[in-house]
């Protein structure tokens, strides 16, 4: 059966998929940097992967990949790469660093397992509503702050945060899906761009004297992200009371 799409449309659709798949290249570079003990460089490659993940959805929609290249499951491709870049590699960095107290294997196993169940939950992404169900496995963000700041302290605070965030991964709390935010999109997207640039600068420059203020300043975006997520979640549940007592059904 002859395709109703032009060659240019087909090429554009597959280029969008290739752009998403480039996340594997940044993952490999991050892994090499981890093995070499260059954790700042590893985090910078994670940032590149995050930038690709933040923009590939727009390109995929413009290229109409679901209609033009339906044999490639873009959602599955995205989830595989996201688990690698957002969970596996950041946790690998923590395990390799020696910053965790014994038993290290236990502390890395907990987020790896809790996050994979979050990734395979078909109701975890509420794209229409604009929320993630549970902590959206931003372990790459967490590990960046460990590299920039928390590693200087005893490993116990790191473990406590790992346990807390792993718990949030599997309970029905909701966090805003930035690219589908129901409100305050300028903050979630524009603020994220400024925040990413600031973190990249800190990771590139290797924090030294005078940079501690910038690390604390960079925390403003994650803090407001969490506070606005709580606010929008509560407002949404009040407008649709059934959400306050039930977990969204799996997508078919």
Tell me the per-residue pLDDT of 198-207, one tens digit each, with 9 for 90 and over. 999 999 886 5
Cis peptide before 4 (omega within 30 of 0): no
pLDDT > 70? residue 36? yes
pLDDT > 90 in the chain, percent: 47
246 sits in which H/E element: none
pLDDT in tens, 64-112: 998 988 888 888 999 999 999 999 999 999 999 999 999 999 999 999 9
Q: Which pLDDT value is given to residue 127?
A: 61
Of 2 and 237, more confident = 237
pLDDT at 251 over 70: no
Q: How many CB atoms lie within 10 A of CB 4?
A: 8
More reliable by pLDDT, 234 or 34: 34
Q: What is the pLDDT, as a whole number, of residue 235?
A: 82
- Give the whole-angstrom CA distance, residue 209 versus residue 169: 35
pLDDT of residue 4 exceeding 90, the answer is: no
> So where are the chain's domains?
7-241
- Given a contact cutoff of 8 angstroms between Cβ atoms, the answer to whether 236 and 172 are in contact is no
Give pTM, 2 decimals. 0.85
Q: What is the pLDDT of residues 13-32, one digit of tens each?
A: 999 999 999 999 999 999 99
Rounded to an integer, what distance in angstroms lies between the CA atom of residue 205 and that of residue 82?
A: 26
Question: How does the average pLDDT of the chain come out, rounded?
Answer: 86
Read out DSSP for 30-86?
A: HHHHHHTT-HHHHHHHHHHHHHHHHHHHHHHHHHTHHHHSTTS-HHHHHHHHHIIII
**pLDDT tier at 242, thresholds 50, 70, 90:** low
pLDDT of res. 3 = 62
Element (H, E) at 2: none
Q: What is the pLDDT of residues 127-165, one digit of tens each?
A: 667 888 888 889 999 999 999 988 878 789 999 999 999
pLDDT the model gives residue 84? 95
């Amino acid at each position: 059966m002859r395709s109703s799409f032009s060659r240019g449309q087909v090429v554009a659709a597959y280029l969008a998929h290739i752009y998403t798949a480039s996340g594997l290249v940044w993952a490999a570079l991050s892994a090499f940097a981890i093995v070499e003990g260059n954790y700042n460089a590893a985090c910078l490659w994670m940032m590149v992967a995050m930038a690709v993940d933040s923009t590939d959805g727009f390109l995929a929609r413009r290229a109409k990949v679901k209609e033009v290249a339906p044999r490639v499951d873009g959602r599955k491709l995205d989830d595989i790469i996201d688990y690698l870049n957002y969970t596996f590699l950041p946790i690998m960095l923590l395990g390799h660093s020696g910053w965790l107290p014994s038993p290290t294997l236990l502390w890395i196993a907990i987020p790896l397992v809790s996050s994979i169940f979050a990734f395979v939950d078909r109701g975890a992404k509420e794209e229409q509503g604009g929320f993630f169900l549970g902590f959206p496995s931003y372990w790459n963000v967490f590990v960046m702050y460990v590299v920039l700041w928390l590693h200087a302290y005893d490993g116990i605070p790191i473990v406590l945060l790992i346990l807390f965030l792993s718990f949030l991964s599997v309970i029905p709390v909701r966090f805003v899906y930035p690219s589908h935010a129901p409100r305050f999109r300028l903050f979630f997207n524009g603020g994220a761009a400024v925040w990413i640039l600031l973190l990249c600068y800190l990771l590139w420059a290797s924090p030294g004297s005078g940079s501690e203020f910038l690390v604390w300043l960079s925390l403003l975006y994650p803090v407001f992200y969490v506070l606005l997520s709580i606010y929008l979640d509560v407002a949404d549940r009040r407008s649709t009371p059934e959400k306050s007592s039930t977990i969204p059904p799996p997508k078919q």
